[in-house]
Amino acid sequence: MSVSQLFSHWRQVVKPGNNWGLAWFLAYEFCRRYYSSHGISPFVLEKEGAGYYGILLESIPCRINKEIVRYGRMTAGGNVENWCSGSPGDHGLPAIEMCASGVPTEEIVERAIVHMGLPAVPRVSHYNCRHKRWGGSYELCFEIAAILALRNASAGISIWNHPYHTKRLIEKIDPLAAMPEHPGMFLFVFHDRKLMVAGDGRLLDGSEQNLWHMYMNGRSAAMLAGEIEKRIGL
């Protein structure tokens, strides 16, 4: 099942606001629109700054993005906050309420994107940035993460991808840690088992396998999510 299909199923069986399903779905929609072209990524947020949870929209360092900009977040339940026009804690778009009241998914996505106010075209082209040239692999990893979150919403899986949680691990275990504009890492944790995946698709478990290569050889994102579930014991 695709992310959209999984979210439709999630809407039918889970009470909106009860877990991270809506937040992950909206983050996926932002990632596939803004990561490659704008250098903006959704990052899982926990107790940073004022102690908020959710999924943050933040620029990634590259040739164009010289300073980190935090644009806003989806709360853990899925409400949308624009931190450029508003402030942390200001749930400008009550997506949880919209989801619970039966507003069509397409409308929720559109209103979330419009509310965040990101430009449709970046001010300066990111043509030579790593996230532009190899953005497909990171977007695939995020798609897999969203599938895992939606399929295992109540199982206790943890997913992290912010440098705050991954930088030390990258420096410790990734042989390509010093590469310019490193693609980052996804950390999947279930109880005492964990798996680290670089943003370019490399499994950092000694297997030398690559999710992007598997995808390009015909595996679906859902199948690759299943591989991760096996490796961490879900």
Mean pLDDT split into 10-residue runs, the chain, 234 residues = 94 85 97 98 78 87 94 94 82 91 97 96 95 95 97 87 94 95 96 95 94 98 97 92
The pLDDT, as a whole number, for residue 224 is: 98
SS3 35: helix
User: Domain total for the chain?
Assistant: 1
The pLDDT, as a whole number, for residue 49 is: 53
- The domain of 17 spans 3-232
Letter for the amino acid at 227? E
CB contact at 8 A, 139 and 36: yes
12 vs 100: CA distance, rounded Å: 10
CB contact at 8 A, 33 and 112: no
Q: What angle do CA 36, 196, 201 make, to 5 degrees?
A: 40
The pLDDT, as a whole number, for residue 17 is: 80
